Amino acid sequence: MHNQVHIYLNGTMSHVPSAANDPTFFLHHCNVDRLLETWIRRYGASYSAQPATGASPGENRYEHIVPFFPPYSHADMFKPSTELGYDYQELHGEGMDGGSDLGECSAPHPEGVSPGVIGMGVGIALGLVLLLAVAGLLCFRYGPKIPQRQVGDADMDMSERS
């Protein structure tokens, strides 16, 4: 799921060297972290799925994760966010009752469009109108000037036509 988002968004997000330059990179990775935190709170910080030995190099439970410095093992990082120094304001399945949707969208509110959304739309529309008005005034004031024709130029044009 993680990689498919990078591929779908394309652009800088689909290229490893430049992915972190895209603002959506941080939104995506924060959401991946939130989903992992939801899973940890629901099932506990169990290391049972990660073998202590026998996995590929660097993938065993107590081996260091490359290229992090200072070095951390997988077991060090597989902890609830509160142990790592941060927490989420709101998290699905907080009570670990098994009712978590692990990030699926909830149903829309039945009351329709909120006044906040309407206000935001009106604000954007007024901002665009103001921006276009200022751009028009600037173009009128500082835009390219059409050279004025001299009276002598008009006489030459008449003589050239005949």
Segments making up each domain of the chain, as ranges: 2-84, 116-146
The CA distance from 44 to 58, in Å, is 23
Longest CA pairwise span in the chain (Å): 100
What is the pTM for the complete model shown? 0.47
The DSSP bridge partners found for residue 73 are 64
Please give the average per-residue pLDDT across 31-43, as a whole number.
84
Q: What is the pLDDT of residues 51-82, one digit of tens each?
A: 888 888 878 888 888 777 888 887 777 788 88
Please tell me the predicted confidence (pLDDT) of residue 25. Answer: 93
The CA distance from 43 to 40, in Å, is 5
Rg of the chain (C-alpha set): 30
What whole-number percentage of the chain has pLDDT above 70? 72
| Residue 134 pLDDT greater than 80, yes or no | yes
Tokens of residue 131, six digits? 């921006």
Segment holding 145, helix H or strand E: none
